[in-house]
Chain A
Amino acid sequence: MKEGRFVLLCLLMLAVQVIFNQFFGLSRYVMFSLLPAIILMMPRNYGSVVLMLIAFAIGFAVDFFSGGLLGLSSLALVPVALVRHRLSGLVFGDGVDAGIDIQTLKRITYQKEVLFFFLSCALFFTVYVWADSAGTVAFWRALLLIVLSTVVSVPLCMYVSRILRPE
């Protein structure tokens, strides 16, 4: 039941992301992405391989429906899926693998949560901006875009994570 709700909410978030991409043409200055939150909120018993396959499919779907560059979101999201378990272990400690479920979420501190989302979003946007600009954007401008997009997306992702896993 819970998983069904989770899948439905994920689809909804994907739709929101598609709408974001299609109707908010601010990508020159800042980008929003909920995709890292969807990957980070996946059940913790999913292995890295499964997560990466899901990330690829999600990225492909978003690019396909929003008419963007096919493969761009997949390229940026797969590394997030790859490092998810490692990153959660690093941020929350070894004993709290993928501490995104009910019990763990209650225990982790707010700062750790912010750090976790910040690092994931930063990784996502680094790859995304790097591939999207294709070497045509100056380094400092690309860096600014990465930082701004990360800073804007972290609270969004945290908000989405609470919708996806209210427990």
Chain B
Amino acid sequence: MARRSQFFLGLATAAVFILLEIAAIALLKSSAALQDVWVNRFSHNVSAVFWKGLTQTRDYFSLREQNDILAGRNYALFKELQQYKELAAIAGARSLLDSAKLEPRFNYIPAEIASMGTNSRHNFIVLNKGAADGVTPYSAVITPQGVVGIINSVDRKYSYALSFLNERVSVSARLGKEGLVAPLQWDGTGTDHAILSNIPSQLDIVPGDTVRTSGISSVYPADIPLGVTTGSRLIDGAVHVVDVKLFQDFAKLRYVIIAENPDRKTIEELEQ
């Protein structure tokens, strides 16, 4: 009780102090032009700091909304770009066959990461889109900066994917725009390194070459940039292993795109 009354007394004292100081400043402001300008300038500075702080706070709390909007735009642009790329590739092939009907090869579904592991050698990702959204197993999980993983199993609302940071996952990649195709796999050391293996030893590897998805696989869309080569090592005197620095920062990953190939089963059956 005594503590509470002391608190209210302190509050009243502070209020009286502020009121008296404001009254004194108001008197001062009205009694001299110099002080008037000074007080005005001071109040403008204070209000500027206040509004700046308020705006920054509001901006901070609206970041999620902005992120969602940007992710949506990112997805739409990516989808459009991929469709153009595919159409261009198909157009090139079809022009030889003199065909008019062109259809994109993949369906794209935007998704958000619900949960993700990066600390083990068999990392996984849980996405907030499932069978109800059209996600099917063995669809690719990608971003415009690279491959994130592959869908392993699907629930109605969620899907479980094997992360690219998983020793069991490998992506068919192409070295350079028209170069050699080789499997790209996580090297198990960091979240931004991978290796291209089985590169013939006679091939010259130039550091700085871009590595992209090859498009040969029925899982991953073609020409998604994955990373750049940083160096190479000769293994057993026969093959090169090329170190690749990935574009995708897995630590900042939040929004992804699920790329589903409706013809995948047909292609796999044909392959068998």
Contact = CB atoms under 8 A, between A and B. Distances in A.
Majority SS of interface residues in chain B?
helix
Contacts of B38: 131, 134-135
A131 B12 contact: no
Contacts of B30: 70
Q: How large is the interface on A (under 10, 10 to 19, 20 to 34, 35 or more residues)?
A: 20 to 34
A59 interface: yes
Interface stretch (B20-28, B72-80, B242-250): B20-28
A49 B20 CA distance: 10
B16 A70 contact: no
Interface stretch (A31-39, A71-79, A149-157): A71-79
Contact of B20 (A53, A72, A135, A136): A53
B57 interface: no
Given A131-B28, A134-B35, A74 B13 contact: no
Given A49-B13, A53-B16, A53-B20, A71 B25 contact: yes
A71 B23 contact: yes
Judged by DSSP, the binding face of A is helix
A71 B13 contact: no
B171 to A, nearest CB: 64
Given A49-B12, A56-B23, A134-B37, A69 B17 contact: no
Given A70-B30, A72-B28, A52 B41 contact: no
B35 A56 contact: no
B32 A69 contact: yes
B28 A82 contact: no
A136 B34 contact: yes
B266 interface: no
B11 to A, nearest CB: 11
B99 interface: no
A74 B24 contact: yes
Contacts of B20: 52-53, 55-56, 74, 78
Interface in B1-55: 9, 12-13, 16-17, 20-21, 23-32, 34-35, 37-38, 41
A52 B17 contact: yes
A52 B22 CA distance: 13
A135 B44 CA distance: 14
Interface string A67-91: 0011110110011001000000000
7 contacts: A49-B13, A53-B20, A60-B27, A69-B31, A75-B28, A79-B21, A131-B35
Given A56-B20, A78-B21, A70 B27 contact: yes
Contacts of A17: none
A134 B28 CA distance: 11
Interface in A45-70: 47-49, 52-53, 55-56, 59-60, 69-70
A69 B39 CA distance: 14
Nearest to B29: A71
A56 to B, nearest CB: 5
B35 to A, nearest CB: 5
A4 B218 CA distance: 102
Contact of A52 (B16, B29, B34, B37): B16
A12 to B, nearest CB: 24
Contacts of A75: 21, 24-25, 28
Interface string B99-113: 000000000000000
A84 B34 CA distance: 31
Nearest to B30: A70
Contact of B27 (A49, A71, A79, A82): A71
B75 to A, nearest CB: 53
Contacts of A60: 27
A78 B17 contact: yes
B132 to A, nearest CB: 65
A59 B35 contact: no
Contacts of B13: 47-49, 52, 82
A87 B28 CA distance: 27
B20 to A, nearest CB: 5
Contacts of B25: 71, 75
